[in-house]
A = this chain, B = another copy of it.
Amino acid sequence: MPQPVAAEKTALSVGEIARRCDIPVSTVHFYETEGLIRSWRTAANHRRYSRHVLRRIAVIKVAQRTGIALRDIKQALAVLPEDSAPTAAQWQAMSRQWQTLLQQKIADLNVLQQQLDSCIGCGCLSLTDCPLRNPGDCRAKETVEVVGY
């Protein structure tokens, strides 16, 4: 990872990255071994990070909040440049993936909330009304204990 002279000026140590992203140093190391971020080394074998790594870690944290696995985050991050700010197109390419996923999650949660509401209304888990019943529970239809668990 050869760095232009300019980058050396603003480069960050692992400790600086950790402090500014509010994560442990060990986590920065971890993300690096996992290939989510990259660094180059000083003469003393110390890691140096481009300031753009701050953005990558910000993205990682945001994505993790939504429950996206590191494996998938890594894939999405692949479209962002390592050593410069992303272009509008690059950013869009990445965030479009999140958008769809977020929309799905929001829709999913809304359905669940709706479902809990109706359950509160009836106080039981009626099989016709309550979405908490097992969606694939076909056997129930054949048996006597069909109404109420």
CB atoms of B112 and A66 under 8 A apart: yes
Interface of A: prevailing SS: helix
Residues from chain B with a CB closer than 8 A to the CB of A116 are: 62, 95, 98-99, 102
- Distance in angstroms between the alpha carbons of A116 and B59 in the assembled complex: 10
Select one of B53, B65, B110 contacting A108, CB under 8 A.
B65
Verify B22–A134 contact, CB threshold 8 A. yes
- Say yes or no: A113 contacts B103, CB within 8 Å: yes
User: Which residues on the B side are within 8 Å of A145 (C-beta)?
Assistant: 10, 51
Instruction: Give the interface of A toward B (CB within 8 A).
Output: 10, 16, 19-22, 51-55, 57-59, 62, 65-67, 85-89, 91-92, 95-96, 98-99, 102-103, 105-106, 108-110, 112-113, 115-117, 119-120, 122-125, 132-134, 136-137, 139-140, 144-145, 148-149
